[in-house]
Amino acid sequence: MKIEDARVIVASPGRNYVTLKIVTDGGIYGIGDATLNGRELAVASYLSEHVVPLLIGREAMNIEDTWQLLYRSAYWRRGPVTMAAIAAVDMALWDIKGKELGTPVWNLLGGRCRDGLLVYSHASGRSVDQTIEQVHTLIAAGYRAVRVQCLVPGLEAMYGVPRADGAGDGKGLPFVENDWSSQAYLRFVPTLFAAVRDAVGPKPALLHDAHHRLTPTQAGWLGKRLEDFQLFWLEDAVPAEWQDGYKILRHHTTTPLAVGEVFNTIFDCDRLVRNGWVDYIRAAPVHAGGITHLRKIADYAAPHHVKIGCHGAGDLSPVTMAAAAHFGIATYNAAIQEHGEHSAATHRLFPHHWSVTDGYLQPGDAPGLGVDIDEDLAGQLPYERAYLPVTRLEDGTVGDW
Ligand code: KDG
Ligand code: MG
C-alpha cells in the first residue's frame, strides 16, 4: 500500500491546529496532529516543503522505517518543529495501519493493559473560592484528578487562569505581557492547597503546574510545603534545559515531580530518568515524534520507576488525544493523561471515538485512531495568528511563559 498524497490542513476553530492527512493508493487515509502552539506555520511549512515530497510513493505500512528516514535523513535532528512534523506522519501511518488491518491502534501496541486511562482536568479560578467551586464541579462530573491553578492575589493575569474578560491563554490574543512575582506566588500556593484539601478531603488527586517559573531552591521550598497535601505531582517546577536543577530539587522534597511537555526526544528525558530525578515525563505524542517515539521513551522510563503523563492542553488537537488514548491504554507505565478543553467547533472539526467517562479516557474500538477531520469545515476556519503571553518580572526583565 503506497502513499499517494499527503496534505497539510491548517484550521482555527477558536485556536490553530495543524493536521496532516496521508492518503494511500487504495483510498485508505490517516491523519496526524502537527500543532505547535504559536509556531504552527513553521511545522506546516516543514511538512509541506520538506517531508511530504519524501512520503509520496513510500510503503505506508513500514512505520518504523519512515520514522527513521525522516529523523536521520534531515541531518538536523530533534527540535520541536522537526519532531512535531515526524509525529504527524507517525500518527497518520498508525491510523492507516489500523484501518487496513481493521483494528484499533491500541491492539497493534499490544492490547489493553488497563480498563481506562486516568485523566485530569483543570480547575482554574481567579479566587480561591472560585477555584474550589471548580474542583467540586469537576469531581461531581466524575473526575478523580484535578489540576489546581489560581490567580495569585495582586496579579492581573496568569498562565492557566482565564483573564478578567474571560479569554484564555493565547486564544487569538495579540501579544500580551503579564506581570509576575515568584515571591507572591510562593507565599500563596501552600495556602491554596491547604484550602482545597480541606474542602475536598484526602481522596481526589490534586496536581499543580508551576510552569517553569522557579529556581531549584524556590521549587524545593514550595515542594516541601506541599508535601502535607499529597499532590499527585508538581509540574515543571523549574525549566529543564539545565537538568541538574531537578537533582537539587529532588533532594529537597518528596512531592512527586513531573516535567517534559516541551520535550521532543528520549535524549531530553535521559538524565532525568536515569538518575531518578523525576517521577513523571510529560512528553506528548505530537511533540515527541509520535506514538513510535513516545513508546520508546516509556520503555526507557519504565525500569526507572518513571511513569508517563502526557501533556494534553487544549492546544493539542483531538487527534493527539486519540493517539494518547491508544498509547495510554496499551502502555504499562502510562499513569495519567491531561484532558484540556476543546471548543464545540473543535469537536465538530475532529469527529472522534475517544471519550472521557467517569474520570477515565477510553480510546474506543474504531479501526485506526478513530478520529477524523472535516475538510470542508476546515476550509471555513482560516489560520489566525496568535501568541502565548510572556511575563515581566517586577524590575521589568522578561520572565518565562
Ligand atoms: O502551548 C502551551 C500550553 O499547552 C501550556 O501552557 C499548557 O502548561 C500547560 C499544561 O500543562 O497544559
Ligand atoms: Mg504544563
Cβ(37) – ligand 1 distance below 6 Å: yes
d(CA 174, CA 320): 26
Quote the percentage of the chain above a pLDDT of 90: 92
pLDDT category, 357, cuts 50, 70, 90?
very high
pLDDT attached to residue 173: 58
**CA torsion angle for 235, 126, 179, 122 (degrees, to 10)?**
30
Pairing of strands 334-338, 3-11: unpaired
**Final residue of a domain: which of 69, 86, 103?**
103
Residue 375 covered by a domain:
no
Same domain, 113 and 99: no
DSSP string, 149-160: EEPPTT-S--TT
| Locus of grid cell 518513571 | 306
Residue with cell 522534597: 253
Pocket of ligand 1 contains residue 313 by CB under 6 Å: yes
> According to the model, what pLDDT value does residue 306 have?
98
How many A from CA of 344 to the centre of ligand 1?
20
pLDDT at 294: 98
Please indicate, yes or no, if residue 378 is contained in any of the structural domains.
Answer: no
Same domain, 236 and 301: yes
Ligand 1 binding pocket includes 261 (Cβ within 6 Å): yes
Looking at the domain assignment, is residue 400 inside a domain?
Answer: no
Instruction: Read off the pLDDT of residues 52-66 as tens digits, 9 standing for 90 and up.
Output: 999 999 999 999 999
> Do 93 and 169 belong to one domain?
no
Say yes or no: 20 and 43 in one domain.
Answer: yes
- Domain end position, chosen among 42, 71, 103: 103
Q: What is the pLDDT of residue 157?
A: 87
Residues 98 and 54 in one domain: yes
Note whether 175 and 294 are same-domain residues: yes
Assigned domain for 257 exists:
yes
Torsion over CA: 326, 74, 51, 342 (sign) = positive
- Does a structural domain hold residue 317? yes
Q: Among residues 97, 40, 35, which one has the least CA distance to residue 66?
A: 97
Same domain, 140 and 230: yes
pLDDT tens string 266-279: 999 999 999 999 99
Digit-coded pLDDT (tens) for 66-95? 999 999 999 999 999 999 999 999 999 999
Note whether residue 392 is domain-resident: no
Identify whether 62 is part of a domain: yes
159 and 77 within one domain: no
Residues forming the active site: 159, 211
Whether 293 is in the pocket of ligand 1, judged by its Cβ within 6 Å, is no
Has residue 170 got a pLDDT over 80? no
Output the CA 212–ligand 2 centroid distance in Å: 8
If asked whether residues 218 and 96 sit together in one domain, one would say: no
From the CA of 313, how far away is ligand 1's center (Å)?
Answer: 5
Choose the residue to mutate in 261, 286, 287, 315 for probing ligand 1, maximizing ligand atoms within 8 Å of C-beta: 261
> How many structural domains comprise the chain?
2
- Residues 304 and 361 placed together within one structural domain of the fold: yes
Which residue, of 77, 103, 129, is where some domain finishes?
Answer: 103
Vertex 364 angle, CA 362 and 366, to 5°: 160
> Which domain CATH number covers 19?
3.30.390.10
Residue 167 has pLDDT above 90, yes or no: no
Residue 253 has pLDDT above 70, yes or no: yes
Co-location of 129 and 92 in the same domain: no
pLDDT exceeds cutoff 80 at 172: no
Which residues neighbour ligand 2 (ion) by CB within 5 Å? Answer: 209, 261
Q: Are the C-beta atoms of residues 14 and 348 closer than 8 Å to each other?
A: no
Residue 175 has pLDDT above 90, yes or no: no
Q: Which residues neighbour 187 within 8 Å (Cβ) at sequence distance 6 or greater?
A: none
Q: Do 203 and 311 share a domain, yes or no? A: yes
The CATH number that applies at residue 205 is 3.20.20.120
374 lies in some domain: no
The range of the structural domain enclosing residue 339 comes to: 108-367
